[in-house]
Structure 1
Amino acid sequence: MTQRFHQVLSSLLFTFSLSAQAGSGGISLGQTRVIFSSADKAQTLTVSNSGQQAYLVQARVQNGLDDTTPAPFIVTPPLFSLQGDSRQLLRLLPQGATLPTDQESLFYLSISAIPAQAEPVTAANRLSVGVRFVIKLFYRPQGLALPADNTPCLLTFKREAHGVRAINPTGYFQTLGMLAVDGHTVALDQQPAMVPPHSSITLAVDGPVNKVAWQTLTDYGGLSQSCQQTGSASTETTP
């Protein structure tokens, strides 16, 4: 069945990659990210079909957006039929891999769906629209120095020749949801906005950098408290 799914998927004329919030053809996910604590035995995620069309769905965890090698998590069921106006609960299970204990690890949950065919059709007559969701799975070890909610304002920013560098001294992945430099909003949809643990990224910004304001994405996909930096100090500005 899995081989047949790959054959059908590879013959699709149209395939869309979507966020979990952008349902298509009635298919949607119950959350925008998965946080997997090292103490968890499993995590769950709901796939819903609000339309009438049945879909064949495949779910898997991969190491990167373009790296489809097996990740240290499995999804059950990995392949299933989702009828119209129904839901399927997925379980994500760890596979016992040794992962860093001083910082988060990042994986990607990929969920692909194609319309189910009532009868066999030839490739020449097939005009199916596939949908694909890719959301982040964060593996979070216990014992990190601070709770995740306390870390957004620990980011610091430094002017560089080609922009501003965001520096993350924490063990968490910090994804910028809003960034403003000297009152001007920085477009984050066309450049990397996630700062890995104990690392940094450079964002394209023109002009001087005197005051930086930002918010990061929370575990639930919302925005954190507002933070700002004037000069070399960063502070929390809202609860």
Structure 2
Amino acid sequence: MYYLNCMRTVTVLLLGFIIFSAQAGVVINTTRVIYNEGKRETSVRLTNTDEKPFLVQSWIDTGNDNETPSSIQVPFVITPPINRINAGKGQSVRIFYTEGELSKEQESVFWLNVLAVPSKSKKASQENHLQMAFRTRIKLFYRPSALKGSSSDAVNQLIFNPVASGLKIDNPTGYHISITNVSVNVDGVKYSTEGTMISPKSTKGFYFDDLKNIPKGSEITISYIDDYGALNVYKSKPK
């Protein structure tokens, strides 16, 4: 696989989320991919919402968005890696697992990249023309069969530990928990901070401006993304 050579191209990087825009041209039908162990393959659907064709390259990386497809080693194969999608048409991209050494006890996370380059008109080809290439990255989770339930079930097992100026959230499960926001209500005042993804069996700290401590019984609210890409809310009161 080679990296598309886009002269005078500006690449717009969309981390984790999809912008459904006619300007972007090619959109993905999901915001994340769950690849369950034992499944022969999975697929995503790409749709060209623009009025011109796009050349599309797809690949998977391990988290370093600066790596080129030819230098990446992952236990997945994508077909087709490069394809043309005409205006108003769609194309399914198939993902195959190639039996790499991944954990049997917890999820492994990768990133699916889709780079879409619009075709140029004959007139534009003869002129100095700024061509916009749009790159979308979404998470791909490899989920071993030993894990039961879903990431939403795992949220119920999170442990909230208040600390100075914030709290630490412990994820004892084998799931990645994608948190978008964390807030706490203290004496009628709401404090909020941005979220992040908590890896399996790890802890993340979340801190709030102008908050010294979180009293016992204060309501903590987290917003998280489930397996279907939907935003959900979970509330807890540390004892």
Q: Count how many residue pairs are aligned between Structure 1 and Structure 2.
A: 223
For 1:221, which of 212, 218, 229 is the aligned residue? 229
Q: TM-score, normalised by structure 1?
A: 0.84
Q: TM-score, normalised by structure 2?
A: 0.84
1:13, 1:128 within 8 Å by CA — same for their partners in 2? yes
**Counterpart secondary structure, 2:231:** coil
**Counterpart secondary structure, 1:20:** coil
1:21, 1:32 within 8 Å by CA — same for their partners in 2? no
1:204 to partner: Cα distance: 2.5
1:224 to partner: Cα distance: 3.5
Q: CA RMSD in A?
A: 2.2
For 1:184, which of 180, 190, 193 is the aligned residue? 190
Deviation by residue 1:17-66 (Cα, 9 ceiling, x = unmatched): 23324334332110000000002111110010111111111000111143
AA of the residue aligned to 2:94 = R
AA of the residue aligned to 1:51 = D
1:35, 1:139 within 8 Å by CA — same for their partners in 2? yes
Report the counterpart of residue 237 of structure 1 in structure 2. Answer: none
Distance in 1, Cα, partners of 2:89 & 2:4: 24
Report the counterpart of residue 88 of structure 1 in structure 2. Answer: 91
Report the counterpart of residue 16 of structure 1 in structure 2. Answer: 12
1:104-123 equivalences in 2 (<5 Å): 104-119=107-122, 121=125
1:227 to partner: Cα distance: 2.7
Distance in 1, Cα, partners of 2:214 & 2:66: 36
AA of the residue aligned to 1:43 = T
AA of the residue aligned to 2:99 = G
Report the counterpart of residue 169 of structure 1 in structure 2. Answer: 172
Q: Structure 1: state its 5+ residue gaps.
A: 232-239
Distance in 2, Cα, partners of 1:230 & 1:149: 19
Deviation by residue 1:183-206 (Cα, 9 ceiling, x = unmatched): 525232xxx510000001112323
Report the counterpart of residue 46 of structure 2 in structure 1. Answer: 47
Report the counterpart of residue 38 of structure 1 in structure 2. Answer: 37
1:175, 1:193 within 8 Å by CA — same for their partners in 2? yes
Distance 1:82-1:166 versus aligned 2 partners, 3 A rule? same
Distance in 2, Cα, partners of 1:185 & 1:34: 32
Report the counterpart of residue 236 of structure 1 in structure 2. Answer: none
> Does structure 1 residue 102 correspond to structure 2 residue 98?
no
Report the counterpart of residue 58 of structure 2 in structure 1. Answer: 59
Q: Structure 2: state its 5+ residue gaps.
A: none
**Counterpart secondary structure, 1:186:** strand
1:21, 1:29 within 8 Å by CA — same for their partners in 2? no
Distance in 1, Cα, partners of 2:44 & 2:231: 21
1:38, 1:141 within 8 Å by CA — same for their partners in 2? yes
Distance 1:65-1:160 versus aligned 2 partners, 3 A rule? farther
Moved more, 209-218 or 72-81: 209-218
Superposed structure 1 runs of 4+ greater than 6 Å apart: none
1:67 to partner: Cα distance: 6.0
